[in-house]
Amino acid sequence: MWSFWDKKQDVIVKTEQQKMYTLIVLAAVSLTASASHISVSFSDSDLQVIVGKNATVKLSSNESFTNEALLEFTYQIGNGDPDFNQGKDNYIFSLGNISISKGDKLAQEVVIKGQNPGNLILGLNSTSEEINDLKSVFVRIDVVISSALVTINAVIGWIYFAAWSISFYPQVYVNFARKSVVGLNFDFLLYNITGFLAYGFFNVGMYWVPSVKEAYHNNHPRGINPVQLNDVIFTLHAIAITIVTIAQCFMYERGGQKVSKVCLLLVTGAWLFAGISLVVTLCDKITWLTYLYYFSYIKLGVTLIKYIPQAYMNFRRKSTDGWSIGNVLLDFTGGSLSLLQMFLLSYNSDDWGSIFGDPTKFGLGFFSILFDVLFIVQHYCLYRNNESHDSLVDDREQEILINDDSTYKTYSGLDDENSIQ
């Protein structure tokens, strides 16, 4: 009997202790929540400073401090962790701590003086329990050598954006004027639309889909979204004009040309990969952000091979007739200016790692320019005086002749000695 009442009393005591513990925890959480009620922010998220010159950014809080507080500046170089010193880099002159008195509201102008060209992230640290999470409080600082180069780079950016955007139209005009797409390789068009669609999915998702943007921010809390509005506009415009060019292939004379089996195999494989990856994503095996990056890989692969069929076709025909040199010249202009901008940006910020640290981006740009140079040599040097050859070669390496009533037919075929009849 006594044992039963002892056990019952023990249960009651434990229950009361659990209630008391719960109340203590809730009180602690409530006090912490009420204590961390102040938000601190910089007036700018990005700041450009000239070496030897000053730039100002404002630091403020939304409420007054109930206790004294001390703010210390941190410096993050590259992908490293924030630290209280810049090590050997010294991009800006070190900043002193900020003391906040009890009852004061933070309103401080921070004067930043450039010391050496480079990039860093200026953050904050504090032991004050009144301030909300300071990890999201930072300003990206770009210390540059010359303000004139900044302006020049901006102008270069707009020029190559315009050159690349306009580069699609000469081919459309050539097709329309000739009422023929003979000389324009269909493999190139299929690769092109595949690459731009993949690039479009990536850009639209990164720029407009909130969940994807949040995932990128979680992975790169102090990074910049690599996709901007002009990237989205360029890609959507490229898709639209490429579709117009493809439509011309169904409307105008094409000389018996068709898409090669190799091209169909590669493009089908790319879209099968995208489809299977979509199923894996829907099953929550990979994130939507990772899935979108797969599309960027498809775009990279397409860029490596898309010009090869056209260059080979020009070689076999010994002519560039039907392949717009205007498209090539504008693409060459855009690509060259893009690489020039990369070098000027690296020089101005003394950040050569942005070029040679990312060989894929640099290599693809340089690779495209090499093909443009090849097309220019074919057009103006190798096949400059060649007459228009409107017959094409099929998969069996036989001549396919266009209709006899073609306005643009200039010869009837090749004889056994490969001479023009």
Q: Which residues, at least 6 apart from 375, have a Cβ–Cβ distance to it below 8 Å?
A: 307, 310, 311, 314, 320, 323, 325, 328
Q: How far apart are CA 87 and CA 102, in angstroms?
A: 33
- Average model confidence (pLDDT) for the chain? 84
Give the pLDDT score at 134: 87
Tell me the CA distances in angstroms from 190 to 136, 204, 311, one per residue in order.
Answer: 44, 21, 15
Q: How far apart are CA 198 and CA 297, in angstroms?
A: 9
Cα dihedral: 9, 10, 15, 21 (round 10): 130
Q: How far apart are CA 257 and CA 263, in angstroms?
A: 13
Give the pLDDT score at 394: 47
Q: How far is CA 332 from the centre of its chain?
A: 20
> 3-class DSSP state for residue 187?
helix
Q: What does DSSP assign to residue 402? A: P
Place of tokens 């893009």: 338
Q: How far apart are CA 351 and CA 315, in angstroms?
A: 41
The model's pLDDT over 114-149, given as tens digits with 9 standing for 90+, comes to: 999 999 999 999 888 888 888 889 999 999 999 999
Give the pLDDT score at 416: 42
Q: How far is CA 40 from the centre of its chain?
A: 31
Give the pLDDT score at 21: 56
Give the pLDDT score at 410: 40
CATH of domain 40-144: 2.60.40.2030
Q: How far apart are CA 321 and CA 14, in angstroms?
A: 92
Q: Which long-range contacts (CB under 8 A, 24 or more apart) does 295-299 make?
A: 295/198, 295/199, 295/201, 295/202, 296/198, 296/199, 296/202, 298/194, 298/195, 298/198, 298/270, 298/273, 298/274, 299/195, 299/196, 299/198, 299/199, 299/202
Give the pLDDT score at 72: 93
Give the pLDDT score at 226: 84
> Token pair for residue 60?
């403020």
Q: How far apart are CA 288 and CA 290, in angstroms?
A: 5
Task: Name 16's bridge partners.
Answer: none
Q: How far apart are CA 49 and CA 142, in angstroms?
A: 6
For the four alpha carbons of 336, 338, 340 and 342, in that order, the dihedral sign comes to negative
Q: How far apart are CA 307 and CA 192, in angstroms?
A: 9
Give the pLDDT score at 192: 96
Give the pLDDT score at 123: 94
Closest CA to 195 of 322, 364, 370: 364
Say how many C-beta atoms besides its own lie within 10 A of residue 145's C-beta: 17
Give the pLDDT score at 18: 60
Q: How far apart are CA 298 and CA 307, in angstroms?
A: 15
Which residues of the chain fall short of a pLDDT of 50? 1-2, 4-5, 7-8, 11, 13, 28-34, 390, 393-421
Domain locations in the chain as residue ranges: 40-144, 147-383
Tell me the CA distances in angstroms from 89 to 52, 145, 167, 311, one per residue in order.
Answer: 15, 15, 42, 47
Say how many C-beta atoms besides its own lie within 10 A of residue 384's C-beta: 11
